[in-house]
Amino acid sequence: MLLKPILRKLLKHPRSVAVVDDQRSFSHIAIAVAAAHVSREILKRTDRPRVGIMLPTGGGFPIALLACWMAGKVPVPLNYLLERDDMHHVFDDAGVDLLLTAGKLLDHVREHTSADAIPESLDLLTLETLSFKGVPPVWPLLRGAITGKGAGGKLRPDDPGVLLYTSGTSGKPKGVVLTHGNLHHNVTACIEHAGLNERTIFLGVLPQFHSFGLTVLTLVPLFMAARAVYTARFVPRRLVELMKEHKPSVFIAVPSMWNALLSVKSAGPGDFDSLRYGIAGGEKLPAAVRDRVQDRFGVKLMEGYGLTETSPVSNWSTHECYREGSVGCALPGVGNWILDEAGEPLPVGEEGEIGLSGPSIMQGYFNLPELTAQAMTRVTGPDGQEVRVFKTGDIGKIDADGFLFITGRKKEMLIVGGENVFPREIEEVLDAHPSVHASAVIGRQDDSRGEVPVAFVELCDDHPFDASEARTYCRKNLAPFKVPRDIHVVEKLPRNPTGKILRRALAEPERAQSPEASD
Report pTM: 0.85
Tell me the CA distances in angstroms from 70 to 46, 142, 406, 498, one per residue in order. Answer: 14, 10, 39, 29
Contact 414, 438 (CB under 8 A): no
With a cut of 50, say whether residue 19 has pLDDT above it.
Answer: yes
**What is the CATH topology of the domain spanning 3-170?**
Rossmann fold (3.40.50)
Fold exhibited by the domain 413-513: GMP Synthetase; Chain A, domain 3 (3.30.300)
Angstrom distance (rounded) from CA 277 to CA 250: 5
- Looking at domain 317-409, its CATH class is mainly beta
Q: Is residue 198 within 8 Å of 225, Cβ to Cβ? A: yes
Radius of gyration of the CA atoms of the chain, in A: 23
Between 418 and 77, residue with greater pLDDT: 77
Confidence of residue 284 (pLDDT cuts 50, 70, 90): confident
DSSP 313-372: EEEE--SSS--TT---EEPTT-EEEEE-TTSPBPPTT--EEEEEESTTS-SEETT-HHHH
- The predicted structure's pLDDT at residue 497: 72
Supply the pLDDT for residue 511: 47
- pLDDT at res. 519: 42
Q: What is the pLDDT of residue 171?
A: 67
DSSP per residue, 46-74: --SSEEEEE--SSTHHHHHHHHHHHTT-E
Greater confidence, 358 or 497? 358
Judge whether 87 and 113 are in contact, CB under 8 Å. Answer: yes
Matching fold, domains 317-409 and 413-513: no
Kindly tell me if the per-residue pLDDT of 150 is higher than 90.
no
Reported confidence tier of residue 517, pLDDT bands at 50, 70, 90 = very low
Q: What does the pLDDT look like over 340-354, one tens digit per residue?
A: 999 999 999 999 999
Q: Are strands 302-306 and 313-316 parallel, antiparallel or unpaired?
A: antiparallel
User: What is the reported pLDDT for 167?
Assistant: 65
Per 3-state DSSP, the chain is made up of helix, strand and coil in percentages (nearest 5) of: 35, 25, 40
Residue 169 confidence (pLDDT) above 70:
no
Average pLDDT (364-373) is 96
| Contact of 269 with 298, CB cutoff 8 Å | yes
pLDDT of 139 higher than 90? no
Domain ranges of the chain: 3-170, 317-409, 413-513
pLDDT at 117 over 80: yes
Hey, which of 79-88, 180-189, 408-417 has the most confident mean pLDDT?
Answer: 180-189
State the pLDDT at residue 113.
Answer: 77
